[in-house]
């Protein structure tokens, strides 16, 4: 099977690209425009009507939402060891954290990067972004406390959560008022280990 990944460098599609690499799956990357001003590629819209990346397509199916694709790939390729099986004792924490990343941490980033989706008038956008910075600090603190002294997000086992979290840290802009990763020592420790993985390094430095 060959997957098609609708993709943009540095975006939420990075986790999917890296998971495909870690799995050893065959895929083609289709780089699509995602800026606020550019029209969307119709082939991309056919798989995600929102015009967001990632969208993953294969012969006979497709899926969007980074967290959903993460669960799909982990379950579809259990031999890659990227996520716990449904019967595993760490599965609840895996699902909870993945949904928290997608639903809460990513939403706080969206409020910063797309303030016009959260506040009607342009003169209120700066205030919306300031509020997003506070929210980012709060929600990242929860992640850092959850990790504590653990080696990986899930505890003692590396998983797709570590790759997902590393991707989220690449969106932090301390110069814009986001928390600095060094305020989040447990997050920083794991993100640094993930960044050193050859497939992650390759995807981000290409
Ligand atoms: N909930 C979606 C959000 C994906 C998302 O926001 N992707 C961004 C890039 S990081 C995007 O495509 N932005 C273009 C837009 O929002 O129009 C997911 O997790 O897959």
Every domain of the chain and the residues it spans: 2-82, 91-197
Best residue for ligand 1 mutational test, from 34, 111, 116 (most atoms within 8 Å of Cβ): 34
* 79 pLDDT higher than 90: yes
| In contact, 68 and 19? CB cutoff 8 Å | no
Q: What backbone torsions phi and psi does residue 31 show, to the nearest 5 degrees?
A: -80, 125
**60 Ramachandran zone, left/alpha/beta (phi>0; psi -120 to 50):** left
Across residues 183-189, what is the average pLDDT? 98
Indicate whether residue 105 lines ligand 1 (CB < 6 A). Answer: no
Q: pLDDT grade, residue 10 (50/70/90)?
A: very high
Across residues 63-91, what is the average pLDDT? 98
**Residue with the nearest Cα to atom 2 of ligand 1?**
65
Kindly give the number of the ligand 1 atom that is closest to the alpha carbon of 67.
19
CB atoms within 10 A of CB 198: 8
The angle that helices 125-147 and 91-100 make with each other, rounded to 10 degrees, is 160
- Class for domain 91-197, per CATH? mainly alpha
Mean pLDDT of the chain: 97
Torsion sign across C-alpha atoms 95, 62, 58, 204? negative
Chain centre to alpha carbon of residue 55: 13
Strand order in the sheet with 2-7: 26-31, 2-7, 55-58, 61-64
**Residues facing residue 28 across a β-bridge:** 4
Please give the Cα distance from 67 to 161 (Å, whole number). Answer: 10
End-to-end CA distance of the chain: 25
Asked if the peptide bond before residue 198 counts as cis, ω within 30 degrees of 0, the response is no
Per residue in 100-143, pLDDT (tens digit) is 999 999 999 999 999 999 999 999 999 999 999 999 999 999 99
Percentage of residues of the chain with pLDDT beyond 70: 100
What is the pLDDT at residue 182?
Answer: 94
CB atoms within 10 A of CB 60: 6
- Length, in residues, of the chain: 206
Best residue for ligand 1 mutational test, from 52, 62, 115 (most atoms within 8 Å of Cβ): 52
CATH topology assigned to domain 2-82: Glutaredoxin (3.40.30)
- What is the CA(149)–ligand 1 centre distance, in A? 31
* 206 pLDDT higher than 90: no
Across residues 20-30, what is the average pLDDT? 98
Give pTM, 2 decimals. Answer: 0.98
Per residue in 82-93, pLDDT (tens digit) is 999 999 999 999
Indicate whether residue 172 lines ligand 1 (CB < 6 A). Answer: no
* 152 pLDDT higher than 90: yes
Across residues 144-163, what is the average pLDDT? 98
Across residues 15-39, what is the average pLDDT? 96
H/E segment holding residue 58: strand 55-58
Establish whether domains 2-82 and 91-197 are of one fold: no
């Amino acid at each position: 099977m060959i997957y098609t990944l609708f993709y943009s460098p540095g975006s939420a599609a990075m986790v999917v690209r890296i998971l495909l690499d870690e799995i050893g799956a065959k895929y083609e990357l289709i780089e699509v425009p995602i800026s606020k001003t550019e029209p969307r590629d119709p082939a991309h819209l056919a798989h995600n009507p929102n015009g967001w990346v990632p969208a993953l397509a294969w012969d006979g199916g497709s899926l969007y939402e980074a967290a959903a694709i993460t669960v799909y790939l982990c379950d579809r390729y259990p031999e890659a060891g990227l996520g716990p099986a449904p019967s595993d004792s760490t599965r609840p924490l895996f699902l909870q954290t993945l949904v928290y990343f997608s639903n809460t941490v990513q939403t706080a980033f969206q409020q910063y990067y797309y303030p016009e989706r959260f506040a009607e008038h342009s003169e209120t956008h700066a205030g919306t972004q300031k509020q997003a910075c506070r929210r980012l600090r709060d929600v990242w603190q929860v992640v850092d406390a959850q990790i504590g002294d653990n080696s990986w997000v899930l505890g003692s086992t590396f998983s797709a959560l570590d790759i997902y979290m590393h991707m989220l840290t690449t969106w932090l802009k301390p110069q814009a008022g986001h928390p600095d990763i060094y305020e989040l020592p447990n997050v920083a420790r794991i993100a640094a280990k993930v960044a050193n993985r050859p497939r992650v390094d390759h995807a981000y430095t290409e």
